[in-house]
A and B are shown apart, each in its own frame.
Chain A
Amino acid sequence: MATHKGRAKCIPKDPDAIFLPFQSKWIMDSSRLKLMEKTRQIGISWSTAYGSAERTAAQGARHDEWVSSRDDIQARLFIEDCKLWAGIMNLAAKEHAAQSPAGRNERAFLMLPIRQNLPRRVVDTSINRWDLYLLPLVLAVLILAAYGARQMTGPFQLGTPLPITLDPWSLPYYLLRTTVRMFLALAASLLFACAFAAIAAKYRAAEKVLVPILDILQSILILGFLSITVTGFIALFPGNLLGVECAAVFAIFTSQAWNMVFSLYQSLKTVPGELREASDVFQLSGWQRFWRLELPFAMPGLLWNMMMSMSGGWFFVVASEAISVANQNIKLPGIGSYIATAIEMRDLGAIGWAIGAMLVGVVIYDQLFFRPLLAWADKFRFEESGGENAQSSWLLTWLRRTGRIQALGLTGIRLLASSFTLFRRDYDGTSIRARLRGRLAGLERVWDATLAALVLLSLWHLLAFIHTEVGWREAAHVVQLGFYTLLRVSLLIALAALIWVPVGIWIGMNPRWAHRLQAVAQFLAAFPANLMFPLAVMLIHRWNLNTEIWLSPLMVLGTQWYILFNVIAGASSIPVELRYAADNVGLRGWLRWRRYLLPAIFPSFVTGAITASGGSWNASIVAEYVTWGGTTLKAHGLGSYIAEMTATGDFPRIALGIGVMCLFVMSMNHFLWRRLYDMAQNRLHF
């Protein structure tokens, strides 16, 4: 500081000193109790941090420094200051040691890098108010969950009716029961997904069988086979309600699991190569790799699919709770049974109440469960760029500020970490156990041949079955029905596209609306549209409309939103420069659509349309065959065929219907959607 520029005067006597005189006086003062009344921003925290760091680092220091602060931000800033000083002192110590080769520890802070006990913990002297808010909430959720679960067991004999009232006041209880069932099913789906995906991704032989099965399972409903499983579950717990409950949970599980499995499997297969190599080089065992690499990588996709699954579960809540078996109607207490009863009694008010209760339920578990999870999972995003769509959750913020809950989480992490010690790789690269097993080409061929033989055998059985059980005429008839439904699905997706693509583009180009309306569209997609069906039935019945036409819109009632929110997302991600360019060259009218807007949103439209079309096929089973009390409305199609056969319990025909639907969905995926998707990926990508 030999030369000074400018005209400012340096006030301190010693311009080279780091601290101002009052700061050094404050640091040097070794009184046991020091009080200071001060204004803001005079560098007292900064200089105190120096004192703390020096005292803690001193050779003979036996005490840690404890700091209490007004709030955690101030405390954290203080710790940053301490770190800064520690770093500077570390450097100074090195230089000093170099100057005096005798290496005497003249300076106390020489020991700092070894002791490593900088104050790292924030100790809040007041009661943590977040604990105060959160504890009741957590307790309430726990108690409710336990109560709901307790209600699931109890004596039960086939034939004794379970009373369902349409009193709105019993809805909270029903909501609780249904929610508990759905979360149990979700947990089961998660476990199943982990096991299934891990096996399929690891073993090629298993993959060859599991992936096609999964492809089929996720494109169809196996609702029709429910009645068989119910009998099995009831036999498992004789004289107890638990059997029926298990059957209901299983039914929900079958509607939730597949897309979760598929998402997880896809993620496991696409883990970036370098990360996989890094986990190999650093000797992670399979178990360690799953928790440290694969699951975190799959987390965002998995969570998204869990949310989709939850909505999917609501769609089948009626079918899963109101079960008919052996000519008995069992109605488990829950929203689904409530709705089923309301439909039987033609009570439109009750339906309204049920929809209201469900909305409340969806909002509650969204806020208490999915929102915090999404916000937490933000750190698992793989793309390294900053997140513009970062989720936030008030609950997660609370949880992160709460000492006790945090401690609970830490215990979980510690348990997991100790499992790493247990399941570690205990051999080295030079061990014979690491020897890469050469691929046994012969065995693989045998396995392939076995699979081919099995497929041929089952095909033969299928043909024989159709020949003897249902007859070829019926099969041809079912295929014809499939074309009716295909026509409906195609027309309605086209119609939905015609309406929602312009709307979505308009919303997407207006950033003020895009964010908000996208969330609304997502919520609408999650809402089980079949609850609105009774309303449609009443309207169709009253005006005596043609069911072939007017039942069709029900199929896209719930699925059209996928198109909308994907188009919004696509339109809002059009590069700004492209927009300017389009304006600049004066694209107008049809040319503007053809050359600029439609190609720009095409990839996201295809993504949305694939989901919407798959969902519509599924929805056709409930949409083409709707009951309202004694009235049954029905449109000719594959969906109504399956629904009708399910109602009469004709298993061969259910199987035939589902098989044909499967064929339709898969060929549509293969011949139409996959091609469009590839085209979008190759040619119309930014």
Chain B
Amino acid sequence: MEQALIELRDVGKTFRSADGSARSVLEHVDFDLRPGEIVALLGQSGSGKSTLLRIMAGLIGADGGSVLYRGQPLYGPARGIAMVFQSFALFPWLTVQQNVELGLEARGMAPEERAARASQAIGMIGLTGFEGALPRELSGGMKQRVGIARALVVEPEVLLMDEAFSALDVLTGERLRDDILELWEGGSMPAKAILVVSHNIEEAVLMADRVLIFASDPGRVRVELPIHLPHPRDAKAPAVRALIDEVYALMTASRAAPPTEAPARPHLVERLPAADVESMEGILELLAARPFAGHADLPQLAEESGLTDEDLLPISSALHMLRLAVLEKGDISLTPIGQRYVAGSNLLRHEIFGQQLLEHVPLIANIRHNLEQEEHGALRAEHFLKLLSDSMNLEEARDVLSTAVEWARYGEVFEYDYHNGIIHLPEGTPLTLRM
């Protein structure tokens, strides 16, 4: 077997948050990127896949383990590794041509040769005629083409793509992805291996020879799934559909474990999926109606709802968490409570939601309990933020708390006043509850 281009051995990464507490984002990651393959990293947000990509790019150092590029330890950005960014990272004051030439200029290449190579790359990616344009004149898809040309022009051995299509609309993203696959298959792509970080399951299955699924908290490779289907792959083909289903099932597998099982960490500080009430309600209604009638295949639900995997997965895990629906093997079905919820009036919905919160979300139950202990039924939000930031960084703690507040407001469990930062019991809560 050929030598791997990038080898990760037992890589770990810990970030130190502002309050000094350490938080592990990656643990024990082993991974080889070999010549001739496209590998996709899939995982929900916060699973450390972008961090891993940046470690491979030499942008940040790993705390533990070793990172090798062509058998040599990697200390910084290497010439043979280029990257395409999620929000393009074009220099807005440079023209398309200058942006593409950036990497060559940095190497001190002569202007004539630089221009010739850049023109070639620009032609290859279908941007001829736009050489003199400034990025702000271009549409999103065109911008990302510039980003790709800039990466390819330095003739990298490894091309890293950090959610390169997620900032584009679906159609544009698909076209660009097909163009890249065409270059790859046609052999005109200079890169010997491509690593794609994505949260789009279909994209990963269509592109990759290997899919790595990441688990969160801390990030680690949970499943490695080789894909032997020939290119070009048709998203509608049964074999591809089956694979997509399988990946959905794998992605939701950990969530599907009932919350009553022995938890990996205390319940209280469980990370709440970032799902807003509005979308949860929308998905429930969609699920209850035809053609699903209470039971759906997640990929189909994604298509029907028009939501991306990045949005749909947290929503379905939130529904699962509240027992309004159940996730199983990439399928989602309404529970009897979920059915009552959908059938109910607004008032009943609030009530059911509130009950489920108190029963199944320990954090919210805990906050409610604490409020009931207080004479005035009110506490500062910082109090709970501090509690949460014992086990996650401040930013995450804020996210979790704001999700909890949104849910609790809807379920009328407690309220939060933005102006003075106080969490309090809803008006009219019977005083007998307060001690």
Contact = CB atoms under 8 A, between A and B. Distances in A.
Same complex: yes
B22 interface: no
B391 to A, nearest CB: 24
A384 B167 CA distance: 15
Question: Which label, helix, strand, loop or mixed, suits the secondary structure of the B interface?
Answer: loop
Contacts of B48: none
Contacts of B75: 429-432, 434-436
A430 B89 contact: no
A680 B85 CA distance: 33
B105 A288 contact: yes
A380 B135 CA distance: 11
Interface in B151-165: 154
B69 A429 contact: yes
Contacts of A83: 128-129
B91 A292 contact: yes
A384 B136 contact: yes
Contact of B92 (A84, A113, A384, A428): A384
Given A277-B59, A282-B150, A424-B106, A430 B83 contact: no
Nearest to A380: B93
A114 B116 CA distance: 9
Interface string A431-467: 1101110000000000000000000000000000000
B339 to A, nearest CB: 39
B103 interface: yes
Contacts of B106: 282-285, 288, 420, 424-425
Interface string A251-295: 000000000000000000000101101101111110010001100
A420 B102 CA distance: 11
B93 A429 contact: no
Interface string A539-559: 000000000000000000000
Contacts of A436: 61, 75-76
A379 B91 CA distance: 11
B79 A283 contact: yes
B83 A420 contact: no
B258 interface: no
Which of B61, B93, B103 lies at the interface centre, i.e. has the most chain A CB atoms within 10 A of its CB? B93
Interface residues of A, number: 42
Contacts of A90: 123, 128
B83 A281 contact: yes
A274 B92 contact: no
B78 A382 contact: no
A432 B73 CA distance: 9
A428 B93 CA distance: 27
Contact of B81 (A281, A382, A420, A421): A281
B116 A116 contact: yes
A382 B111 contact: no
A383 to B, nearest CB: 9
A429 B81 contact: yes
Given A430-B74, A431-B75, A434-B76, A281 B108 contact: no
B24 interface: no
B102 A282 contact: yes
A512 interface: no
B93 A379 contact: yes
B194 to A, nearest CB: 15
Nearest to A434: B76
Contacts of A281: 57-59, 77, 81-83
B236 interface: no
A326 interface: no
A87 interface: yes
A13 interface: no
A84 B128 CA distance: 10
8 contacts: A87-B129, A277-B54, A281-B83, A282-B77, A382-B92, A424-B107, A429-B81, A435-B76
Closest 3 CB pairs of A and B: A429-B78, A434-B76, A282-B103
Interface of A: 83-84, 87, 90, 113, 116, 272, 274-275, 277-278, 280-285, 288, 292-293, 296, 379-382, 384-386, 417, 420-421, 424-425, 428-432, 434-436, 683
Interface of B: 54, 57-59, 61, 69-70, 72-79, 81-83, 85-89, 91-94, 102-103, 105-108, 111, 116, 119, 123, 128-129, 134-136, 150, 154, 418-419
